[in-house]
Amino acid sequence: MFNRKRIALITTWYPPISSVATLRMDAFATYLSDDFDVVVYTLGDEISHSDIHDSLQVNRFPTHAVLSKLKSNTNDSKFVHKLKTGLRIIAGKIIRKPLKPWMNMTFNKLMTDHATRPFDCIISSFAPQEAHEVAIQFKKAFPHIPWIADMRDEMSGNAHATPSSREKFATFEKQLEQHANAITTVSLPIVKSFESKCPKVPRIIEIQNGYNHHIPPVPIEKGDTLRLGYFGTFYGSRKPTTLFQAWENALQKNEHLPIELHLVGAHANFSIPEKLRPYVHLHSELPYEKAIAKMQTMHANILIHPRTEMKGVYTGKLYDYLSVCRPVLGLIDKDDVAAQLIHSLNGGYVAEFSSLEEIENEIEQMIEDWKSNKMRIPNYAQVQLLHRKEGVKQLKHLILELSET
């Protein structure tokens, strides 16, 4: 066992915390552990402790005591959840560096563990920035140990960040550039962005997200109605407004469109037009594998992502949609990576989110293809290359390359 390289993974996102960020970190830890000894340093409850999660050693340290007490629980009522969320936002503005206690405890444990048995490589993941700050502290003490800075998103290039935040991120990127041996991120446009911002970092590579199950695709009966699914929430400008408008326009041409829409896990923060209500069905949120099984009962699944100035956004659910070998109806930025991936796999139908005419045309084309049994279904052999395990293979190669130079 001791001849295997030892890896430290520093992240605030790790099971049982539920998020898209957690899925990436869990995949890193799980699949790296096939070849390396992985130790995880993450966020915990009010008391510091270590445990074993899926045979991995996981060290958990708390954040500021006030924020720990305001942590949401799955059994919280809707009112309590909103109250805690609001109080966390207020506390976050009042308490400067709320993750400072977590940083200190994580760094101290990391140093102790390294003294006991040295690490061959460390990996930290943004956001938040504090995970990278711990890694920089460690690199200053041990500059010969390779550090991989994982970026699930842009820093100063994030169009959703405030101008002051972007300015602070730009300053931090210069620190990162001085210490990181490699940067990994989720898409090629973001790779290009970091290449321009951190040109001194030797390696900057794409490691896409992906799906993380082993459920084989199953055939589906055509039936009398085209079933469309949407899985997840709506927020900000990501709403089904243009879908509903295009659908209503199509109904004006043909009152007997054989379509029904299933919304799984969506919050009630949007309006369903009166004319469409008989055909729209709301379902509660499902655990991951049950959601995958539900996706398989649809004839196609819907991806919604309005165009923004940011490029390189796949969104996590796209990989899950493709994994069940059902067409994707993408109401997205036609010039970004999600559209490119759908087209490259012949995986569905793409329309600009803001174009009612394009959405209506794609809906009509999809119905015609469904009627003639010619829907655009991605090839399963190509889809399998999108599994998270495949992406982590690139990370393994990078670790070996860095730790053996």
| 82/355: higher pLDDT | 355
- Any idea how long the chain is? 405
Residue spans of beta strands (DSSP E) within 11-158: 37-43, 49-53, 56-61, 121-126, 147-151
Token pair listed for 10: 């520093």
Average pLDDT over residues 128-135: 95
The helix (H) or strand (E) run that includes residue 263 is strand 259-264
Residues 339, 343, 346, 350: is their CA dihedral positive or negative?
positive
Q: Which pLDDT value is given to residue 371?
A: 93
54 phi/psi in degrees, rounded to 5:
50, 45
Residue 187: pLDDT band with limits 50, 70, 90:
very high
Predicted confidence (pLDDT) at residue 35 exceeds the cutoff of 70? yes
pLDDT at site 146: 97
Kindly state the average pLDDT of the residues 296-315: 90
User: Can you give the pLDDT at residue 74?
Assistant: 41
> pLDDT over 70 for what percent of the chain?
91
pLDDT at 75 over 90: no
pLDDT at 324: 96
Contact 130, 103 (CB under 8 A): yes
Instruction: Give yes or no for a contact between 14 and 22, defined as CB atoms under 8 angstroms apart.
Output: yes
Question: Which of 354 and 86 is assigned the larger pLDDT?
Answer: 354
Residue 128 has pLDDT above 70, yes or no: yes
278-297 confidence digits (pLDDT tens): 999 999 999 889 999 999 99
CB-based burial, 19-52: b 16+ in 10 Å, e otherwise: eebbbbbbbbbbbbbeebbbbbbbbbeeeeeeee
Percent of the chain with pLDDT over 90: 68
For the stretch 156-183, pLDDT in tens is 888 778 888 889 999 999 999 999 999 9
pLDDT in tens, 226-270: 999 999 988 888 899 999 999 999 988 887 889 999 999 988 888
Rounded to an integer, the average pLDDT of 93-107 is 81
More confident position, 395 or 235: 395
Of the pLDDT bands very low, low, confident and very high (cuts 50, 70, 90), residue 91 is low
What mean pLDDT do residues 63-87 have?
52
Q: What pLDDT is attached to residue 78?
A: 46
Residue position matching structure tokens 């949120």: 285
Q: Is the confidence at residue 376, as pLDDT, over 90?
A: yes
Using a 10 angstrom Cβ sphere, with 0-12 exposed, 13-18 middle and 19 or more buried, the burial of residue 59 is buried
Strand partners, 49: 60
Query: 141 and 115 in contact (C-beta within 8 Å)?
Result: no
The whole model's pTM is what?
0.85
